[in-house]
């Protein structure tokens, strides 16, 4: 996989944000980052959907980047950090890019504007203006079932011509659109699936990698699937995926990242499964299913 952005292909983790007593839990965050620094992940996304980014203020987002950078440095792991940004006002997002420019992350994951449902030309001008607002690379986050608008492939390919628009987290939920984009994209534009349940199939159709919340659990096993496919071992990759396929279904059976936080808490990686409203912790039923899954691993 040749690319002018060699850090992009691979398995990226959209890291949860640990909270305790209403505050960002720096101790748990450091422990969490140290754990994943020892795992085969190729990059971290902070403060996006899985990281409950909409509930973070600027000071917390900056602290999130700072603690993560320090923890990676202490672990001797040099992997890129991208910060999640979202909103429906191009000017406000541009100002957020300016405010955060010196925080220390390498790039941004920017979601399509939500609720306003702009036209394709509006989406093109929106992301073009944001690309003009920063020198850092941008991964577009296309997730129409959350934002209400789908960034079509023609528009995506126009944006891929911008030097610092380097890829997409693809959650369009349309396999035909995803395959068409992979087939037509330029070599230096990365398509990273964000659909956990379609991880294996996306890779077999040519996706460059994934931004995968489920990879908080069994990280090495998720990474091994891509490694096997790159080595030409599709039967082995399929066998591995068949062993993992129930994990995304379990972790997304209630709104994410509740189940992931509960699992990490039970593993001792974070000190609390606390969420911020309007997100709430998992139900007793799902907690029981997670307990059973953890017990079956022992």
What is the C-alpha to C-alpha distance for residues 23 and 26, in angstroms, rounded to an integer? 9
pLDDT at 3: 37
Q: Which residues of 278-296 are buried (b: 16+ CB within 10 A; e: fewer)?
A: ebebbeeebbeebeebeee
Side-chain half-sphere exposure of 23, counting CA atoms within 13 A: 5
pLDDT at 10: 96
Considering only CA atoms, which of 205, 204, 148, 136 is closest in space to residue 177? Answer: 205
pLDDT at 2: 34
Instruction: Give the residue numbers of the binding site.
Output: 50, 211
Out of 82, 169, 199, 200, which one is annotated catalytic? 169
Average pLDDT of the chain to the nearest whole number = 96
Domains of the chain with bracketed CATH:
10-243 (3.20.20.70)
Instruction: Give the residue numbers of the binding site for pyruvate.
Output: 50, 211
Would you call 185 a catalytic residue per the annotation?
Answer: no
Out of 36, 82, 141, 200, which one is annotated catalytic? 141
Low-confidence residues of the chain: pLDDT under 70: 1-6, 298
pLDDT at 7: 73
In tens, the pLDDT along 25-66 reads 999 999 999 999 999 999 999 999 999 999 999 999 999 999
pLDDT at 5: 54
Strands 19-20 and 23-24: antiparallel
Would you call 92 a catalytic residue per the annotation?
Answer: no
């Amino acid at each position: 996989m040749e690319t002018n952005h060699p850090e992009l292909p691979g398995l990226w983790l959209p890291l949860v944000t640990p909270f305790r007593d209403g505050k960002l839990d720096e101790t748990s965050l450091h422990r969490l980052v140290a754990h994943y620094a020892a795992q085969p992940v190729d990059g971290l996304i902070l403060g996006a959907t899985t990281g409950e980014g909409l509930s973070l203020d600027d000071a917390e987002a900056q602290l999130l980047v700072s603690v993560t950078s320090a923890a990676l440095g202490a672990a001797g792991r040099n992997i890129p950090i991208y910060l999640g940004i979202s909103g429906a006002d191009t000017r406000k997002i541009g100002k957020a890019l300016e405010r955060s420019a010196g925080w220390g992350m390498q790039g941004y994951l920017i979601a399509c504007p939500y609720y306003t449902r702009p036209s394709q030309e509006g989406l093109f001008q929106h992301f073009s203006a944001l690309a003009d607002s920063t020198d850092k690379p941008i991964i577009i986050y296309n997730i129409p079932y959350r934002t209400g608008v789908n960034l079509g492939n023609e528009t995506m390919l126009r944006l891929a011509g911008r030097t610092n628009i380097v890829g997409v987290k693809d959650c369009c939920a349309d396999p035909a659109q995803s395959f068409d984009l992979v087939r037509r994209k330029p070599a230096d534009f990365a398509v990273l699936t964000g659909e956990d349940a379609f991880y294996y199939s996306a890779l077999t159709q040519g996706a460059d990698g994934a931004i995968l919340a489920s990879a908080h659990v069994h990280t090495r096993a998720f990474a091994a699937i891509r490694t096997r496919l790159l080595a030409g071992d599709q039967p082995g990759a399929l066998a591995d995926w068949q062993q993992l396929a129930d994990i995304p279904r379990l972790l997304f059976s209630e709104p994410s990242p509740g189940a992931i936080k509960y699992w990490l808490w039970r593993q001792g990686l974070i000190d609390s499964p606390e969420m911020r409203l309007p997100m709430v912790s998992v139900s007793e039923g799902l907690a029981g299913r997670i307990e059973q899954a953890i017990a079956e691993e022992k």
